[in-house]
Amino acid sequence: MNLVKTEIKDLVILEPTIFEDERGYFMESYNMQKTNTLLGGINFVQDNESLSTRGVLRGLHFQKPPFAQAKLIRCIVGEILDVVVDLRENSSSYGSVKSIILSSVNKKQLFIPKGFAHGFVVLSDTALISYKVDNYYSHAHDSGILWNDPALNIDWVINPDQLIISSKDQNLLPLVKNKNIF
């Protein structure tokens, strides 16, 4: 597995070693020892899975402390544009946005440390997303940032008229109203 640093500190891409032949391929999608060597002592406690159709936008979500979550995201089937926003106010990249294509073809994974909002939009007909988290979900600590916050200027690639967004996500607050969280 290869670790690729991004321009945002602690946000990294994991590229697996893939063994391909005429029968198909084999790869390790997760190895606790290797992951901890690359990322430090991460203790993932839960695996989540999401199936969505083209144009579904989920996010930008995060959990407030003490239930903040680090995540390891991958797209098993299809293709998504995965988007994160740095919410760590002491970070030099506070408010920065990073987008990456995760797909069943490139098999990349994105490690998102605590202190980030996360979302994605499905670019293929369907997409199956799997992600590990290092803290349990708490409804009382569930929060997010408005997907089309003008201060973030996120290019979701798909025309906004074609997006499918939950009413919860349509009513999230902009970044400016999500201060002093991390």
118 is annotated as an active-site residue: no
Candidate list 30, 61, 137, 139, residue with the active-site label: 61
- Portion of the chain with pLDDT greater than 70, in percent: 100
According to DSSP, residue 128 is labeled E
DSSP 175: G
> SS3 for 168?
helix
CA-nearest of 138, 110, 115 to 45 is 138
Side-chain half-sphere exposure of 128, counting CA atoms within 13 A: 4
For the question of residue 141 being annotated catalytic, the response is no
Share of the chain above pLDDT 90, in %: 86
Average pLDDT, the chain: 95
Domain spanning 2-177: which CATH class is it, in words? Answer: mainly beta
Q: Which of 30, 94, 118, 131 is catalytic?
A: 131
Confidence label for 178 from pLDDT (cuts 50, 70 and 90):
confident
pLDDT of residue 2: 86
Average pLDDT over residues 99-116: 97
